[in-house]
Amino acid sequence: MMRKFFVVLVAMLLLIPAAGTAETDLSAMTDEELVQLRDAANLELAARHPAEGPLATWEMEGCRIDLIAVERGVDRDNNPGFSLRFAFTNTGTETSTYIHYAQAYIYQDGVECEWAFVNGADSSTQFTRVQPGGTFDGVIYGFLPNSDSATIDIEITAASYPYQSAGTFTVKLPD
């Protein structure tokens, strides 16, 4: 939050000399100033036009899993990590839980990431009971990255044998 405030403040300061004119001379700006301006503009555009719908969806017999958000955070030991928030929709005929149907595996550079308590990640959210037709959007997984790679692969599999994969999506991690 503080970083966002600082970036917006710097961008506003950069634009003050141009406030009285119709144009800003971008060629006179340093690379660092242009990057700060771009980042501030991207934050503003994201706030004005939030993404609609899930980042990824997996359809399985009896349920649908939607990836709602990927967020940067820290674990209990203050190590940098990420959290994934999923929505579980019960398309079956009986009350059930996420963990009854599915399991998520997170990979970075082909290696499974270590699970962690990041941004309120709590394995108990997987056991929230959902009636047929209902959706629970609080299934949260936390993990620690195992490299500096900017992407992760998220695989959702059936929770019971034969552990069939419902598919893998590659997602860009937030900055």
pLDDT at 44: 56
Q: Which amino acid is at 58?
A: W
pLDDT at 161 > cutoff 80: no
pLDDT at 16 > cutoff 70: no
pLDDT at 136: 93
Mean pLDDT, residues 141-165 taken together: 88
pLDDT at 123 > cutoff 80: no
pLDDT at 174: 85
pLDDT at 14: 54
pLDDT at 157 > cutoff 50: yes
Q: What is the DSSP letter of 130?
A: B
Q: How far is residue 126's CA from residue 100's CA, in Å, rounded to a whole number?
A: 9
Q: How far is residue 174's CA from residue 85's CA, in Å, rounded to a whole number?
A: 14
Q: Which residue has the higher pLDDT, 163 or 56?
A: 56
Q: How far is residue 102's CA from residue 110's CA, in Å, rounded to a whole number?
A: 21
Domains within the chain, CATH numbers bracketed: 2-48 (no CATH), 56-172 (2.60.40.1240)
Query: Average pLDDT over the chain, rounded to whole?
Result: 81
pTM: 0.66
Contacts of 6 (CB under 8 A, 6+ apart): none
pLDDT at 86: 92
pLDDT at 50: 55
pLDDT at 66 > cutoff 60: yes
CA dihedral 144, 116, 50, 66 (to 10 degrees): 110
